[in-house]
Amino acid sequence: MIDEGESLAFVEEMPELFQDLKEVYHIFLYLSRKRRCGFAPEAISPADIESTLNLYRIDDPEKRLDYLQYIDALDSKWLEWSREESAKKKEDE
């Protein structure tokens, strides 16, 4: 439980998103929660991104390509962070 007045480091470290990228970030979070995990988390597939863009009714081809590239870049960074966190946990054991 978080005590009143206690700071949340992860919230303080979050960057401010540009308004036009909020939808991209929300889609990334949606896909990230549904990612497959075996021994380690897997990358979000282009097919999963495409089907989610369909779900969100994003039809403009140029916008779809932009979203695909943004989500892929976010996913690469997330996977890099995840590997680093996993390595830190192994060091602490």
**49 and 56 Cβ atoms separated by less than 8 Å:** no
> Both tokens of residue 55?
């779900």
Query: Does residue 9 sit in helix, strand or coil?
Result: helix
**69 and 44 Cβ atoms separated by less than 8 Å:** no
pLDDT in tens, 33-73: 998 887 788 999 999 999 999 999 999 999 999 999 999 99
Q: Is the pLDDT of residue 2 over 80?
A: no
Residue 13: what pLDDT? 63
pTM check: above 0.85? no
Query: Does residue 4 sit in helix, strand or coil?
Result: coil
Cα separation, 65 vs 57, in Å, equals 14
